[in-house]
Amino acid sequence: MRYGHFDDEAREYVITTPRTPYPWINYLGSEEFFSLLSHTGGGYSFYRDAKMRRLTRYRYNNIPSDEGGRYFYVHDGGDVWTPGWLPVKAELDHYEARHGLGYSRITGERGGLRVETLFFVPLGETAEVQHVTLTNTSDAEKTVSLFSFVEFCLWNAQDDQTNYQRNLSLAEVEVEQDGPHGSAIFHKTEYRERRDHYAVYGVNTRAAGFDTDRDAFVGPFNGLGEADVPRTGRATGSIASGWYPIGSHQVDVTLAPGESRSLTYVLGYVENPHDEKWAPADEAAGVPAMQRVNRERAHALLSRFATTEQTLAAFEALRTSWTDLLSTYSVTSTDEKLDRMVNIWNQYQCMVTFNMSRSASYFETGIGRGMGFRDSNQDLLGFVHLVPERARQRIIDIASTQFPDGSAYHQYQPLTKRGNNDIGSGFNDDPLWLILGVAAYLKETGDWGILDEPVPFDNEPGSEVPLFEHLTRSFDFTVDNRGPHGLPLIGRADWNDCLNLNCFSTEPGESFQTTENQAGGVAESVFIAAMFVHIGPEYAELAERRGLTDVAERARTEIEAMRAAVLEHGWDGEWFLRAYDFYGNPVGTDAKPEGKIWIEPQGFAVMAGIGVDPQDPAAPGSPAVRALDSVREHLATPHGMVLQHPAYTSYQIELGEVSTYPPGYKENGGIFCHNNPWVIIGETVLGRGERAFDYYRRITPAYREDISDVHRLEPYVYAQMIAGKEAVRHGEAKNSWLTGTAAWNFVAVSQYLLGVRPEHDGLVVDPQIGPDVPSFTVTRVARGARYEITVTNGGAPGARGRLVVDGAAVEGSTVPYAPAGTTVRVEVTV
């Protein structure tokens, strides 16, 4: 069952009923100002940091779950309704929400009035624009009142929902009905003291009335769906003083039959230099010193959206910027679902993970996590081709939080860019991801200078060393921290945050990630070993290209030793082991009744080439083939591959959080989508493209659209998890949007299935997608040149393409980089 459809031409998903199984959201903004917006208008806005600079309030664990957002109430001759359906829930004659790239358009119609609202964050602005168009679709003249509504948050989103003894006495606003560009409400709580920022909510007309006090607008005993002011049809002119500040404008509109009128609302963040915080005292105008906010910057903001033409021009600029961004990689094939994921939605989601990391979604509150060290490095794999300059800065920011011994803070805070002491370090996979991120950046850009960039440790001024030295420390960290089998020590956890082999927690509420009750030098990770064998060669390659031959050689020796250790101590018989626990017992072995086989080491080891027969990768019998065949046998389901099997049915103190989830959910036998692409890529390494593409389709949302009633989350973006085969709700997704799944699936589909990937000396073209996509064209812009790659694909197992570049046959699968500005035509026959 579906709740809408894709509109690929417009690059939108069109939701045709407000009754989706869960709020289906979108993100506005990609610079400093961000909004989360659900298909009914729910959500909130913030400036840079979802915890510290929250403009509007959002309630967690709410009933219904998504009530609170920016709403427009219509009062039409006593009939009160909201065009996004919520919160009033009056039946609509027509409803539609279109989520596009950085914007959404929500339309509702009732009783002969159509209200369409376009929401977006314009480029270069710290504001959300709400462009409302009212159309009289009846054959009689209509006079209606429109009441806008936002509820202000007192900036620190955590404090805002806990510290009422202080907060309920703080709120302050100013209202300007006859401003230079219409009416405006200024939310200035705490501006009288240390804050140098306020929020403004303006509309580009003189409003007939306003409210800024929530109880006056809603009524103390009402929910938002029964708000008083829209019902009575008269704003009260309330001025918030303490309690709960809101912003609402009443605009009265008279429309002839068929007539439309547009209004532009702007919700903005305004920051003033400290010595310009206040408007000068002006006795004649009744403005005392240090009482009225300096409105100049707010007026300047509103002036840029004073007319519909200005607003629509800003919207066009946003559309164009997305067209440009997405032109770096696109495919045209016979499979429209593949095309829409690759060309639009997967890349879009990668940009959202770049902006948000794991901070703010409908599953992450925006007050908890900072930027993850490993998460951000992996996210980079999905956006480096889109915004290479910003990826460069991100790399420097991440590396600056590393410690001198190569270990890393697990998270850092986006505003301060400093490591997060509450979580600390000890996640022993973290350092290696930095190498992977930097290598991806170099392959994309060829910007070798970044390796000489001075980068501090732990943000300590004076500690700067060239970035390359950080990579050496990352590499050495793994080398220096090995256990009894020569495999890397796991520390608090590796990629799997919930495999906590040194934790041994008996205290409810104790963090599995930060507790090490029995830290010993024994518990080892086969997964980190596989990472080392996969990522280590990237480091050796960089060393080589810097002329450090001995460094490269030493690195390769270490890598081979690790490969040997995995094959000797990391192999269970039919698949790779997952780990050794605190006592030195194997984890992920057939010898145990539960958690026999885990997905992560299988995918990553094969990606790394461990146990792959170089002569004939697909030939039966090699460890790699057996491992991935075991994955198929034990882990694959129609909804994707589960993380391990069988799931744990009881708490295993020596394993930690992984066994806390009921079977089939999250890291305990859930389909944790992030690691599925490792198996997909692994299958392409074995030349089994058909199987790889089959796996790809099982978790990719566009292919799951028809079962939206089962999947339940947005059919246009990946979710972190789909409930596994032992779960009560097998196939149901959770945690959409902010997941490493986005980047890794983009890598899997663009670089391995379609097979176009940047390497240091050129673009490799090596499609491994099987026979289901018989032909396709990829357009890839790399280092300023454009590659038009046409593939005729027989799809035979293991077949490698023959390349003709600009008319001449070439050996191998690398197309050398061409000068910027040129176009290269590549024909490939597989």
Catalog residues that contact ligand GLC under the rule CB under 6 A.
358, 372, 374-375, 495-498, 513, 666-667, 720, 739-740
With vertex at residue 499, the alpha carbon angle to CA 495 and CA 502, rounded to the nearest 5 degrees, is 115
| 61 Cβ contact partners less than 8 Å away, ≥ 6 residues apart | none
Q: Residue 740 or 758: which CB sits closer to ligand GLC? A: 740
- Shortest approach of ligand GLC to residue 409 CB, angstroms? 13
Instruction: Decide whether 134 or 535 has the Cβ nearer to ligand GLC.
Output: 535
Q: Does residue 624 contact residue 610 with C-beta atoms inside 8 Å?
A: yes
Structure tokens at 200: 């403004």
Q: Which of 127, 136, 153 is nearest to 29 (CA)?
A: 127
Nearest approach in angstroms of CB 666 to ligand GLC is 5
Q: For residue 107, which phi and psi values (nearest 5 degrees)?
A: -125, 135
Interior angle at CA 70, CA 67 and CA 76, nearest 5: 95
Residue closer to ligand GLC (CB basis): 478 or 496: 496
User: At 710, phi and psi to the nearest 5?
Assistant: -90, -50
CB 95 within 8 A of CB 4: no
Closest CA to 493 of 570, 561, 429, 444: 429
**Of the two residues 338 and 673, which places its CB atom closer to ligand GLC in the complex?**
673
Residue 525 pairs with which residues in a beta bridge? 579
CB of 674 to ligand GLC, least distance (A): 6
- Nearer residue to ligand GLC within complex by CB, 203 or 503: 503
Look at strands 762-765 and 814-816 and give their pairing.
Answer: antiparallel
Quick check: 475 and 435 in contact, CB under 8 A?
yes
* Backbone conformation region of residue 322, classed left if phi is above 0, alpha if psi is from -120 to 50, else beta: alpha
Q: How far is the CB of 740 from ligand GLC (least distance, A)?
A: 6
Q: How many CA atoms lie within 13 A of 241 on its CB side?
A: 3
Active site residue 476: no
CA distance readout (Å), 598 to 577, 650, 652, 657: 8, 17, 16, 15
Output 35 or 720, the one with its CB closest to ligand GLC: 720
Q: Which of 111, 11, 72 is nearest to 262 (CA)?
A: 72
Residues near 357 by Cβ (< 8 Å), separated by ≥ 6?
369, 370, 371, 372, 375, 376, 379, 414, 738
Three-state DSSP class for residue 531: helix
Query: Is the Cβ of residue 358 or residue 596 nearer to ligand GLC in the bound state?
Result: 358
Beta strands in 460-509 (DSSP E): 465-466
Task: Output 492 or 569, the one with its CB closest to ligand GLC.
Answer: 492
- Say how many Å lie between the first and final Cα of the chain, rounded: 37
Q: Cβ of residue 372: shortest distance to ligand GLC, in angstroms?
A: 5
d(CA 71, CA 83): 8
From the CB of 111, what's the least distance to ligand GLC, in Å?
Answer: 46
Q: Which of 678, 665, 532, 692 is nearest to 604 (CA)?
A: 678
CB of 266 to ligand GLC, least distance (A): 34
Q: Which two tokens stand for residue 681?
A: 């890529």
The overall longest dimension of the chain from CA atoms, in Å, is 91
Distance set, CA 260 to CA 128, 140, 676 (Å): 22, 13, 50
Q: Answer for the pair 10, 344: CB distance below 8 angstroms, yes or no.
A: no
- Quote the tokens at residue 332: 């045209």
Q: Which residue is nearest to ligand GLC (CB)?
A: 497
Q: Which is nearer to ligand GLC, 498 or 754 (CB)?
A: 498
Of 391, 389, 329, 385, the C-alpha closest to 354 is: 391
* Phi-psi sector, 734: left (phi>0), alpha (psi -120 to 50), beta: beta
Q: Rank residues 186 and 665 by Cβ distance to ligand GLC and give the closer one.
A: 665
The string of DSSP codes covering 684-739 is: HHTT-HHHHHHHHHHH-HHHHGGGHHHH-S-TTS-EEEE--TTSTTTT-EEEESSS
CB neighbours (10 Å) of residue 633? 12
Nearer to ligand GLC, 423 or 815 (CB): 423
Question: By C-beta, is 40 or 500 nearer to ligand GLC?
Answer: 500
When the beta carbons of 198 and 718 are compared against ligand GLC, the nearer one is 718
Cα angle 683-686-688, degrees, rounded to a multiple of 5 = 60
Distance, CA of 225 to CA of 233 (rounded, Å): 14
Q: Of 497, 572, 581, 766, which one is the catalytic site residue?
A: 497
Cβ atoms 91, 104 nearer than 8 A: no
Cis check: omega of the bond before 663, within 30 degrees of 0: no
The least CB distance from residue 493 to ligand GLC, in Å, is 7
Task: Please give the positions annotated as active site.
Answer: 497
